[in-house]
Amino acid sequence: MMEKSKNRFEIKTLKEVLKDVVSQKPLKKGVENIRICNSWEEVMGENVKIYTSQVRFSHNILYVKLISAPLKMELKHKLELIKESLNLHLGGKFIKKVVLN
């Protein structure tokens, strides 16, 4: 008599499957990068968002391009506080430095 073969597939929820897919190294890095860049607008608010033309993250440095010189000068004095606020929002020490262009 033949034995029934055991099911080799594990049943997972959609949430678990998505988590597994996103946790793959190249994809995880990309998703993390987007999350970090989006945190700039979430933390800094609408007033800063309208003067922000570009945000990018590379080698633990967040580069932010602003189109307002007065705003850039004001924020340059608060870079350490901004970095801490962003990292707190992200739940980790992702950003080592914030550079305003």
5 occurs within a structural domain: no
Is the residue at 9 inside a domain?
no
31: in domain: yes
Residue 4 belongs to some domain of the structure: no
Looking at residue 25, what is its pLDDT?
A: 67
Q: What is the pLDDT of residues 83-96, one digit of tens each?
A: 999 999 999 999 99
Does residue 1 sit within a domain?
no
- Residue span of the structural domain in which 50 resides: 14-100
Rounded CA gap, 39 and 45, in Å?
A: 10
Closest by Cα among 65, 50, 55 to 86: 55
Highest-scoring range by mean pLDDT, 4-8, 16-20, 43-47: 43-47
Residue 46's alpha-carbon distances to 64, 78, 86, 99, in angstroms, are: 15, 18, 15, 19
The one-letter code for the residue type at 18 is L
Strand ranges for the chain from DSSP E: 52-58, 61-66, 97-100
Instruction: Count structural domains, the chain.
Output: 1
State the CATH number of the domain containing residue 59: 3.30.300
